[in-house]
Amino acid sequence: MSQFIEVHRDHFTISTESARLDLDAIVDMLSRAYWATGRSRETIVRSIEHSLVFGVYDDARQVGMARVVSDYAAFAWLCDVFIHEEYRGRGLGKWLMETVVSHPDLQHLRRFLLVTRDAHGLYTQFGWKSLSSPERWMEKFND
């Protein structure tokens, strides 16, 4: 499994300690995310159980997250990146991405993917770019 990390900045913390996650806050945040529309609480809980989750906290209150699905050897998928609306514009998203990409267990991946509709500017700052050969990729998408 993955190595636990915790980093601090002022009164904010980013932690991968799963016991610290606030499932109610996560379900609430993802209910407002365009990519998670209609995702049930059961599905959210199951996805968290099988992922490396970076929680963002204002003292004890969870105000953001990012989830990484990985084999920790060759591949990872970054998803469910969310900063609560009240906390946007404070640099928390950038700090969260710095923390994700510097996690020790994610350093030697061959491929690290994500899908975004509107946050390309954030992710390009951390090395993501458009697929070099999109014609090679396929998906099985179940609506």
What confidence tens digit (pLDDT) does each residue in 88-132 have?
999 999 999 999 999 999 999 999 999 999 999 899 999 999 999
Q: How many beta carbons lie within 10 A of that of residue 127, not counting itself?
A: 9
Distance CA 78, CA 32 (A): 18
The pTM score is 0.94
Q: How many beta carbons lie within 10 A of that of residue 51, not counting itself?
A: 18
Residue 142 has a pLDDT of 83
Residue 123 has a pLDDT of 93
Distance CA 77, CA 71 (A): 10
Pick the CATH number of 6-128 from 3.30.1330.30, 3.40.50.2000, 3.30.360.10, 3.40.630.30: 3.40.630.30
Report percent pLDDT > 90 for the chain.
88
Q: Do residues 96 and 83 lie in contact, with contact meaning Cβ atoms separated by under 8 Å? A: yes
Report, as an integer, the average pLDDT of 62-90: 97
Residue 128 has a pLDDT of 92
Kindly report, residue by residue over 19-60, the tens digit of the pLDDT: 999 999 999 999 999 999 899 999 999 999 999 999 999 999
Amino acid at residue number 84: H
